[in-house]
């Protein structure tokens, strides 16, 4: 009988799906979903950071922004980490357009 050893080597995170830039109209109050995914060994943990203030706003591969408005515009970073090497990240921008009021009659 021959004994065989199987070695499982750690692999740092690599993105296989990156988030896309998105544009919405504020008056539509749409939900916005951004998605990213990364693989690696051990399993990769994903988090979402709002770049303007460094706040972690979600964990997992999906970022959901409900009723997107002006206060949510900006860059969001998906960060992948599994403890092997340095965390890696990729970003997408959420642009929120607002209706321009050109006269008092439109108010």
The span from the CA of 95 to the CA of 73, in Å, is 5
CA pair distance 31, 25, nearest whole angstrom: 11
Q: Which residues pair with 58 in a beta bridge?
A: 48
Closest CA to 46 of 18, 75, 7: 18
Taking residues 61-66, report their average pLDDT. 97
The CA distance from 11 to 34, in Å, is: 25
Specify the pLDDT at position 4.
Answer: 77
Which two tokens mark 27? 């008056």
pLDDT the model gives residue 1: 66
For residues 25 and 73, what is the distance between their CA atoms, to the nearest angstrom?
Answer: 11
Its pTM stands at 0.85
- Average pLDDT rounded to a whole number, residues 23-29: 94
Q: What percent of the chain has pLDDT over 70?
A: 93
Above 80 in pLDDT, residue 6?
no
Rounded mean pLDDT of 89-107? 82
- Residue 66 pLDDT grade (very low, low, confident, very high; cuts 50, 70, 90): very high
pLDDT computed for residue 2 by the predictor: 74
């Amino acid at each position: 009988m021959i004994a065989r050893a199987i070695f499982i080597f750690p692999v740092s995170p690599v993105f296989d799906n990156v988030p896309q830039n998105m544009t919405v109209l504020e008056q539509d109050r749409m939900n916005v979903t951004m998605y990213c995914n990364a693989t690696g060994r051990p399993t990769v943990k994903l988090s979402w950071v709002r770049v303007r203030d460094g706040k972690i706003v979600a964990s997992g591969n999906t970022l959901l922004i409900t009723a997107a408005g002006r206060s949510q515009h900006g860059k969001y970073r998906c960060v992948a980490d599994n403890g092997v090497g340095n965390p890696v990240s990729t970003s997408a921008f959420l642009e929120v357009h607002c209706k321009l009021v050109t006269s008092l009659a439109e108010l």
